[in-house]
Amino acid sequence: VGSVTATHPSDAEKPSSQFEEELAGAPLWTVVWVFGAAFLALALVRALSSDPVLGRLTTALVSSSAMLFWVFRVTPHQGHRLRELLGEAPRASDWVTLLGVVAANLGLGVALVELGRITGIPWVAAAPWRMATSGVGAILDVATLVVFVALLAPVAEELVFRGVLFRKWRRTLGPVKGLFLSSVLFGVLHGGTMLPLAVSGLSWALLYTRTRT
């Protein structure tokens, strides 16, 4: 009678790239230290200046710098190709799933806003961002939204929450606990939008597990 060896669910996945393995092996203290220092720097800037445009611009610059510093410090990039750092492009069959997840997240947000309007319970906190309407402030606000909110912040979140936390906790705690814990933390750190962002984090982790990019 031959022996049967049980395999972990993640063992059947496509082999990880070197960059993914290095992210999964990054010590958690490096995440806490770098982003904790960034939060302290932002708190100092906010205390010294009441200009909202300057505050948002500084937030974008400090957060982006912290992200880039962390990535280049925790992973040796010698020999890495750009595609390995960015992840492979989704396969044609993955685009339907990806667009479906995006639509589901948007639908959840709209549904919670409407539910809050009907019941009077604020399921989703109102966004505090008020853009400048003219001048240099308006230009800086648009640039910050495009560069930071639409590009750099999502990249940082994927690297930290899916690249490090989800992969590390999935290996040490198991796939279900790793999925749940990383998703809840993702929601908690977004404050007033905790519920939809926790669900969103869950969907992105599942999407990463499926597409591996």
Give 9's pLDDT tier (boundaries 50, 70, 90): very low
Give 128's pLDDT tier (boundaries 50, 70, 90): low
pLDDT given for residue 178 in this prediction = 92
Q: How far apart are the first and last CA of the chain?
A: 40
Residue at 81: amino acid letter: R
The answer to whether 159 touches 30, Cβ cutoff 8 Å, is no
Give 192's pLDDT tier (boundaries 50, 70, 90): low
Number of separate helices (H) and strands (E) present in the chain = 10, 0
d(CA 31, CA 8): 27
* Mean per-residue pLDDT, 53-72: 76
Cα–Cα distances in angstroms (integers) from residue 47 to residues 14, 43, 50, 65, 103, in the given order: 48, 6, 7, 20, 39
Specify the pTM. 0.75
pLDDT given for residue 43 in this prediction = 79
Cα–Cα distances in angstroms (integers) from residue 42 to residues 38, 47, 57, in the given order: 6, 9, 11
